[in-house]
Structure 1
Amino acid sequence: MAPRLVPEVTMGRSVVAIVLLLACAASGCRASTTLEPEAGPTSSSADVPLGTPSASSGARETEPRQAPPTVSPPGPLTGDLLPADLLVHSPEPLEEDLVAAVAEVPGVVHVEPIALAQVAIQDRVVNVAAVDAAAYRRFTTPGSAGLQEAWDRVAGGEVAVVPALGRRLRDEEGYLRLGNDRDAARVHVGALTAQVPQVDAVVNTAWGTELGMRPGNALLISVDRLVAPQRVRPAITRLVGRDVSVQVLGPDLDVSAVQTAVLTGGSVAQAVGSFSYRVGTAGRIVPQQEWVAGHIRTEAVPILGAVTCHAVMLPQLRAALAEVAASGLSQEIDPDQYAGCYHPRFIAGSTQLSLHAFGIAVDLNVPGNQRGTVGEMDPRVVAIFERWGFAWGGRWSWTDPMHFEMDRLVEVR
């Protein structure tokens, strides 16, 4: 039996309840009627706790399950809700005296330390926060903050995700794999609910430790309602330094601020490293040159010729292509249809980074392998790439058969 949804909507909860009762009275439906919010961008404010995974669901176990890390339940919502006005994000934990100094900046009324990192899910880099649910929920929307079951589930080891993204990326069993590494953790999606701007998913602090996130490397900041966040930002920037991201939160990315990319979720993420970047034009980003110089290389590989990728991936890419050639399959990869490896950009139409921005993905035979199709990739080529530590986008729920991304480290001898 598939997990049931618990009905909940951020706006007008009592109105929704009345409408459902009237509908039931007219149609004779039973009390177990559930409400699934409409899919798509308009549903981003919907708050829905999801059913827990069930051994009787009939779904095939794909790997052993371990009990998720838990923390104490947050209890009922206490205190006033707070606007999420500014976000400070650093690659490393912020020192306590620095956090105290930020809290004393004129106009700042509250600061809340969180852990913030990015995980790669199907070539989409998702912002994940590890939080104290009792404190963090006060920064979310009223409907989300008041959804007790959602925060109990986060404390109990599940993940809460913004609705549109959660529906798109969770697997058939209702899990997210937090990272593109083959050994990355799978976390059950416990709720689809609105988060603060620039946060896509939240887990508890124990999960943060399990994932290797850096505790306290980010700060949510509320300012006085009579003070514009833009007026407070310069003083905070002077305290934390210009290389640390200080952005004004809102529905759109603050393009004037330095951004921070910190991959987590496994050994590949650790090898890739973190970097700061600025938002460029036409969906591009401008990473800090020190990271580019230290990690991005242009080298020759079989079949494709010169490619520009992350240094950690090049040996595995070279080995995979060499085996393709040795197997007599060179004709199955057209170098004229190669669409590149390192591309410092967002995913088209979004402000989420692609793994191409880290240089650990390649797109092959593009014309015949478009997103959402079965594609024309030779399965023997796919098998070779998978042996050499690559995941294939043709296996995703929304397929991308041109796409191969590094999902584990393989020693090349």
Structure 2
Amino acid sequence: MGALDGVRVVDLTRYLSGPTLTMLLADLGADVVKVETLPNGDAARQSGPFTGGESVYYMASNRNKRSVALDLRSEAGAEALRRLIAEADVFVENFKPGTVEKMGVGAAAMRELNPRLVYVSLSGFGQRPPGSELAGFDQTAQAMSGLMSVTGTPETGPLRVGIAVADSATGVFGAVGVLSALYERERTGQGTVVEGSLMQSMLTLLSYQAQKYLSLGVTPGQDGNDHPIMFPQGTFRTGDSAMTLACGNEKMWQRLCSALGKQEWEQDPRFASNADRMANRAELRTLIEEVLSAKTTEEWLDSVGAAGVPCGPVLTIPEALEHPITAGLDMVADVDHSALGAMRVLGQSVNVGAADPDWLRRPAPMLGEHTEEVLTAAGYSADEIDLMVVGGHAAQWRRSGS
């Protein structure tokens, strides 16, 4: 039994930010019903790459959910959605601001229908002008938040982070908001509205880079793989590949000098303090890499790590997923997909209490895989469901040949 067992979530989200939020809740035991609009469902289903005709992008953020396929443009489909929301603890949507009101499921109407409802709206740039006028895409948020301006080097120019960090972070922050609202409901008996946006998430993650400007008026620049305020802390070439070093204080710097056989650097006025090392980091980088070139990454990891200096290899994604530490964290799990059969997926991002061997209850669902069982539980009779399916207001996925 998960920590959120008994919490009912209606998920009207698409792409990544909302599905990430609801997947986190589902992984912790919440019953998440993903309501998808016919005929194609979540637009992420059409985003490649594909395996066996199923979207890898979609499957990455929709496990542990049940899918209901409805024609939300029809009154019958819209009514079914409202009935689900009426019995839910949480409702999540990530449409462009104003869209859900046109669909008849805006916050005011749904909280009147269900006063205990925690109503969650995720957007790109907020629910009110001027941000509400913009569509929310991860790339745009990375650019407009300033994140791209501190990513890369002066030679590369601004770079996008290699993952959809704005979408994913908004899902994580949104989940924190949901849990806070559910806790508040225990005191007040009333639900509330939770709002999050890609822009808020990215500005929050800027952390000390933003504070440098707010406090000092300094415009942060691009430092590549180097830490923007500490050195040596970054990625360094070795004799065969690259490794990371992280000297977070003077003691670690002294340990690194000893591990590299360069104790004289401790007395070098160019490197006497972190400020000195930052001012002369190009020169210090060259000296460090000259030493590191004499051995392989694996050899340096042993000796530098033994000296008490944080360090690590620079791995590819396959290497990271197959790493013993990853296995020790149970970060790759096995599940049987309804159409694809056995497959591997990522493990849980956080553990609450004792390990739950049954946390991975189901794979990402096929479109409408659970329509009949969810509508039945909502009070629809078999005849009513059949009429909805025949009328094109709902759809039930069935395994080929059944």
User: Which TM bucket (shorter chain)?
Assistant: under 0.3
TM-score by length of 1: 0.25
Q: Which structure has the highest helix share of the two? A: 2
Higher relative contact order (CA 8 A, sep 6+): 2
Larger radius of gyration: 2
In terms of fraction of residues, the more strand-rich structure is 1
